[in-house]
Amino acid sequence: MLDVNITTSTEKNGNRKNGLNNDITDFLLTEYDNVAKAFFNTYDLSAKWIRVYFIFLAVPFGIGAFVLKNSTVSSPPQIELSNLPGLVSVSMITIGLLGLFISYIVIDLRMDGILYARTANGIRKYFVDFGGDERLANLTKSQLQKYVVLPTDIAVPKFFKLRGDFLFLVAAMAVLNALYFGLGAGNFIQKYFVKLNISLGSFFWASAAIFVIIHFLLFWNAGRVKEKHYCNSQL
């Protein structure tokens, strides 16, 4: 036991001489493990929410089939986009609003994932800068890139950027949510609020544009909030 304690003490003294604080190093190694697990967990949760989202999208089709199957008339009416049954219209409105909520959850999970990635970058930078190895300290940036492939910059990746696969996902969800809400609400108003004399086409395009704008505002604001509350905060 005495030999172990002496060795541990010697290692700590050696780390201090090399500019490496053993306590902070142990903390950062543990933090790195936790951050890596949290990072992959955000992707798993996002995938689960997206699966739930696509299940919701199928609900109006099931309701439409139910309405046709249980119609009391001898020749069931055909369902048209400009003349949807009331129950189908309500379900589409509900799915459009739920889709907006799920989009926000997926966006927020993405921002969390980026925050964890930046945290890992900072920990990686600590070991690159204060690794306690003179050979590492003497390497130029180009030489260092041969060994450290992942970034060490806590400012990347960006929270909000108008490119990439996630932008495509947000845009696709925005269009689908706009389509469901616009068709559902337009048919509902046209059928039950005839006096308003609102054109289905006009209402659909107006509500679709609003929905798409809301999605991108949620995307932009989620990144802005994370940047302000975490990356620009004072220790």
At 16, is the pLDDT very low, low, confident or very high (cuts 50, 70, 90)? very low
Mean pLDDT across the stretch 94-105?
A: 95
At 202, is the pLDDT very low, low, confident or very high (cuts 50, 70, 90)? confident
Quick check: 104 pLDDT over 80?
yes
Pick the more confident residue, 135 or 129.
Answer: 129
pLDDT, residue 14, reads 46
pLDDT, residue 68, reads 72
pLDDT, residue 17, reads 44
Highest mean pLDDT among 4-8, 11-15, 81-85, 201-205: 201-205
pLDDT, residue 235, reads 53
At 60, is the pLDDT very low, low, confident or very high (cuts 50, 70, 90)? confident
pLDDT, residue 194, reads 65
Q: How far is CA 30 from CA 33, 37, 120, 196, in A?
A: 5, 11, 11, 62
Quick check: 219 pLDDT over 90?
yes
Mean pLDDT across the stretch 163-189?
A: 90
pLDDT, averaged across the chain: 80
| Span 22-59, pLDDT tens digits | 678 888 888 989 999 999 999 999 999 999 999 999 99
